[in-house]
Structure 1
Amino acid sequence: MTRRPRILAIAEAANPEWVSVPLVGWSLAHALRDMADVHLVTQIRNRDAIVRAGLTEGVDFTAIDSETFAKPMWKLAEKLRMGEGKGWTIVQAVNALSYPYFERLVWQQFGCAITRGDYDIVHRITPLSPTSASSLAGRCAKVGVPFVLGPLNGGVPWPEGFDDIRRAEKEFLAPLRRAYKLLPGAKATLDQASAILAGSRFTASDMPERHQGKILYLPENGIDPARFNRRARPPKGPLRASFLGRLVPYKGPDMLIEAAAPVLRAKAMVLDIIGDGPMMADLRALADRLGVTEQIIFHGWQAHDAVQDILCQSHVFAFPSIREFGGGVVLEAMALGVPPLIVDYAGPGELVDATTGIKTPIGTRAEIIEAFRAQLLALSQDPAQLHPLAEAAFQRVQDHFVWARKAEQVRAVYDWVLDGATAPKPVLL
């Protein structure tokens, strides 16, 4: 377009002070303000944080009060998931049932403006989950306003051989993950969307063949250069590796300690574990049992600035998680120039290539431990081999994953939808 497009950005979860999905929703919607005239529509729980970020309610954004339905449904989800931070598929299933009320209120407030053409595009950014159908897609189609959906991500199958971890995470609904396609509105949402942003190749491949021509690959995670503004400078001495994440089984901190044990005992490596969670006591006991306590620093939960300080001391980011949809922490390490060592599965496997990090095949627990052990041993003997990976990892983030670059990619999608321009080519295939 010759003028800036007018975008009604729907992001039920959008909060600059939170992490995960709310931070993605906020970051993308906010970055798009440099590319388009954006009015953000979000849930009322995000209002105060957005005001503190400098936006004006009623001008820059609108907060929708859907608490009448959202609050009791959230309490239900918390009760069903039987443990804080677990049962993610249960939460998504409940959200898929409660979210339509939010969109109903959005249409009540903005339906007339959409109908008379006040917005060139309606873009639903969050929920990221493909399980949440959208009534707005059909309403926009009826009045001739393009509807952009996504980025969507999720539904990655649990790898074989890890059913014990799946059960420990209360992921009882995971085997039924494809059932969401039978929910009312799921098919119509995809049919009526003008463009679909897929946050992962798996999500793109899991959608019907008839929609492939309007699906574009755009990983949902991004980096704010103001938050990640340093470069790693690991000190001389033994290999320094770091792990960042919630201390739960599927992220593999215990596998990492077992893999690193021989290198740690030889005093050829120091391991920083950043994060907290239900495994903390067991991980400390494991380190003691393996005789590597002196070589591991358990930092616990750390504020963002402190996380940067620790990561910037690292030669490598060691992250043997077996099921990450997005892998945001991998990007965070890369943004600091810390190359990742990861399991080649789901999100991290798509973010990392041979020029920016090291990927080990998905396999059994024993196979992952052995693969990580071999890599850590080799790196401890020659940390210099990480230098070109560190530079390439940093540059990859700058080229494709800072929020300004991602906003440019989305703007290209808007132009494609509005003007029939050539479909944007995925830059990360």
Structure 2
Amino acid sequence: MKKLKILINAYTCSPGMGSEPGMAWNWVSNLAKFRELYVITEGEFREKIEEVVPTLEQGKNMHFYYNPVTDEIRKMCWNQGDWRFYKYYREWQWKTYLMAKEICSSEHIDVLHQLNMIGFREPGYLWKLSKENGVPFVWGPVDAKDKFPVTYLDGASIKTKLFMRLKNFLTCIQLRYSGRVLKAARQASIIFSASSNSQRSFKKYMHIDSPLLNETGCYVQEHPITDKSQKVTFDVLWVGKMDFRKQLALALQTMAAIGDNKFRLHIVGGGDAAFYQQMAEGLGIADQCVWHGAVSHDEVQKLMQASDIFFFTSVAEGTPHVVLEAIGNNLPVVCFDTCGQGDAVNDKVGRKVALSNPAQSAADFAKQLNDLEHDRNLLKQLSENCKQRQNELSWEEKAKTMVEWYEKVKL
């Protein structure tokens, strides 16, 4: 049977990285095990790509084309929230469309795939090429959450509160009325949602049923499950940047609500630790907090293997890779039932609470953590279940799902 040729638009893509570059790399490096890929990407990580591709068995199926931008535009891209970037990003997408037309004129491309970046606001122009050539168009996974939960803006600056409320308003307008977003959605043979939140948005605003496929996956790991029941402390690990989206304040309030000195909150991440350390003092839990600062990836893995619970309090994410890493380390997760973490964590590997307000959430999280500390057999079972969940969330399984859809849309 002829191997399908897939043209992929992946603005940022790089081996050995996290976030959007790493996500795209993991997709294409796994998809290339099954299909032949033609990948258009920005040129920032060209050197890394060209160093690694020849070392991979599937490297022969990975053909990269580069559409570089200036260093100034790259800085805008990395500075999340710099809306000036969208002007240049749109121009990049148009040039990518022209490059894709050239590739299609010399290669028999079977499927066009808009992969990343995952935000819905910029769907690129492969949909237009699909309309012109009749080649099926796949979009996603797409992050199309319509609202940031504003009740969790406590402690944010006035500027941030105004910005998030304006962003919520504009997001709803764009989902409902953006011409290119609607054209891309109508042309797509299939749109994948990066989270259940995104599924609801596509249904609500565009009346589209969009299958769930979180944008990131995990690699199956082998770690022994150790007996931690005799430990004197109950170690809860929190990892993230210290900004309001990650809700470290809520994690501290949860520890105060638990009111049990055997609990230790291990805090990993960069940012204004002094503000939160002062908060911990005020809550009377300073002695229960261990501040690790920004540490290496390997050190985070060691902390995960030594901890009892991974506590993830963020309220605005795609699919956080750190949650999948926790599952990969057989570490049960307690988090909100929202965004990608709400889809990745089920009741076999953790516990979730509904979005409400900070005071109610602190009480809800405190109950979940207390219950798990009191029932060590349940906690051990959740840890053992992580192995199966790793397989279900693995990159290989995600790639197989995507390939199945390539075959379906090509029929």
SS in 2 for 1:148: strand
CA distance in 1, matches of 2:305, 2:33: 30
SS in 1 for 2:391: helix
Confirm or deny: 8 A CA contact 1:157 1:174 kept in the other structure. yes
Confirm or deny: 8 A CA contact 1:156 1:323 kept in the other structure. no
CA distance in 2, matches of 1:404, 1:109: 29
Q: What is the number of equivalent residue pairs in this alignment?
A: 401
CA distance in 1, matches of 2:251, 2:121: 33
Does residue 282 (structure 1) correspond to residue 275 (structure 2)? The answer is yes
Aligned to 2:356: 363
Change (3 A) 1:11 1:234: farther
- Decide which moves more: 120-129 or 343-352: 343-352
The RMSD of aligned alpha carbons is 2.7
CA distance in 1, matches of 2:185, 2:206: 7
Does residue 309 (structure 1) correspond to residue 302 (structure 2)? The answer is yes
Match of residue 398, structure 2, among 383, 406, 409: 406
Match of residue 258, structure 1, among 244, 253, 257: 253
1:219 CA drift (Å)? 0.8
Aligned to 2:35: 36
CA distance in 2, matches of 1:266, 1:113: 63
CA distance in 2, matches of 1:58, 1:47: 17
List gaps (5 residues or longer) in structure 1: 79-83, 420-429
TM-score by length of 2: 0.88
Confirm or deny: 8 A CA contact 1:230 1:308 kept in the other structure. no
Confirm or deny: 8 A CA contact 1:6 1:121 kept in the other structure. yes
Residue 179 of structure 1 aligns with an amino acid whose one-letter code is I
1:232 CA drift (Å)? 5.2
Does residue 296 (structure 1) correspond to residue 289 (structure 2)? The answer is yes
CA distance in 1, matches of 2:246, 2:225: 23
Aligned to 1:102: 92
Indicate the percent of aligned positions where both proteins have the same amino acid: 22
Does residue 126 (structure 1) correspond to residue 116 (structure 2)? The answer is yes
Residue 25 of structure 2 aligns with an amino acid whose one-letter code is W
CA distance in 2, matches of 1:251, 1:116: 47
Change (3 A) 1:145 1:211: farther
CA distance in 1, matches of 2:34, 2:25: 15
Does residue 143 (structure 1) correspond to residue 133 (structure 2)? The answer is yes
Residue 372 of structure 1 aligns with an amino acid whose one-letter code is F
List gaps (5 residues or longer) in structure 2: none
Change (3 A) 1:367 1:392: same
1:231 CA drift (Å)? 4.7
Does residue 27 (structure 1) correspond to residue 26 (structure 2)? The answer is yes
TM-score by length of 1: 0.85
Aligned to 2:370: 377
Match of residue 168, structure 2, among 159, 166, 174: 174
Does residue 219 (structure 1) correspond to residue 218 (structure 2)? The answer is no
Confirm or deny: 8 A CA contact 1:9 1:125 kept in the other structure. yes
- Decide which moves more: 165-174 or 300-309: 165-174
SS in 2 for 1:217: coil
Match of residue 409, structure 2, among 410, 417, 426: 417
SS in 2 for 1:67: coil
Confirm or deny: 8 A CA contact 2:12 2:41 kept in the other structure. yes
